[in-house]
Amino acid sequence: MPALRFKQVDVFTTRPFFGNPVAVILDGDGLDTATMQRVAAWTNLSETTFVLRPTAAGADYRLRIFTPRAELPFAGHPTVGSAHAVLEAGLVAARPELRQECAAGVLRLSVAGTGTERRISVEAPPAALEPLRADAVGEVERALGARLAPGSAGQIVAIGPRWLTLMLADAAAVRALAPDMAAVAAVSRKLGATGITAFAPARAGDHDAVVRSFAPGDGIPEDPVCGSGNAAVGAWLQHAGAQLGDRGRYVASQGRELGRDGYVSVRVDDAATHRVWIGGGAVTCVDGVLHVQSD
């Protein structure tokens, strides 16, 4: 039974036990897909990643990303947390830009600072947007237990996961959400969405938006601080011609309702259609080995 290097990293925070945890197995080569999925179900975190040798030209490493129930082509907090783990373990030399290979392609990452001051951002894959059907709005609002902001339109934003992305009236409405999780799972399946990400602008000293993400159909009732959900919000804003913060740069607060209190830095890139950068800090909480037996 091999002993594989393992880290559990809290992402979008610099404080242990805040942000969003990801399990990172640094020695993923040699594990089959069934074993990876079983490990991800065992960790029972929103995502578990496996670092492998790259197969694409120019990539520094390859990453496979699993929820407790399925593999994802891309996810934000696992990407940031895995890059932190790879750098901390010395698998890749620290430099301002890295390349991560994943099922969504080879993605650019920027790295600024060192140690506890390090901040890692990733350019999310190109987003594809599909408007929420008018006849589904009522069902979605009942599942969420809240109404869309007047004049706003829901969009299914495919950015790896497919987030049904909705703007609510204000930050208080987002923070007060108590969705019917069975209904959220049902309407997500019906619409072919991973789950629902709800957001609203916020007037606060340390953040410009409040975000919450729900994916009970994937075994994640609420993702504490969701990178791909925040990237979907950035794509929604660009599509709607709206802007938060300063020139497309803003900070989103997420996870406070779960006691996780994370912060995601978002940059909406006007130079490319629906390209969004998301990033933040990360801190290792568990560093050791995992004993895994393949099928």
- Which are the catalytic amino acids? 47
Residues near 159 by Cβ (< 8 Å), separated by ≥ 6? 74, 124, 125, 126, 127, 128, 228, 231, 232, 235, 276
Beta strand ranges found along 184-255 (DSSP E): 195-201, 209-215, 220-223, 249-254
- CA-closest candidate to residue 7, choices 64, 67, 49, 36: 49
Separation CA 140–CA 136 (nearest Å): 6
- CA-closest candidate to residue 103, choices 49, 173, 170: 49
Per-residue burial over 25-43, b = 16 or more CB atoms within 10 Å of its CB, e = otherwise: bbbbeebeeebbbbbbeeb
Q: Which two tokens stand for residue 222?
A: 């609420």
Would you say 156 and 196 are in contact if contact means Cβ atoms under 8 Å apart?
Answer: no
> In DSSP terms, which residues pair with 210 in a beta bridge?
200, 253
Task: Write out the DSSP string of 37-106.
Answer: HHHHHHH-SS-EEEEE---STT-SEEEEEE-SS-EES--HHHHHHHHHHHHHTTSS---SEEEEEETTEE
Q: Give whole-number Cα distances, 221 to 35, 59, 176, 231, 238, in Å.
A: 24, 33, 15, 19, 27
What letter would DSSP give residue 229?
H
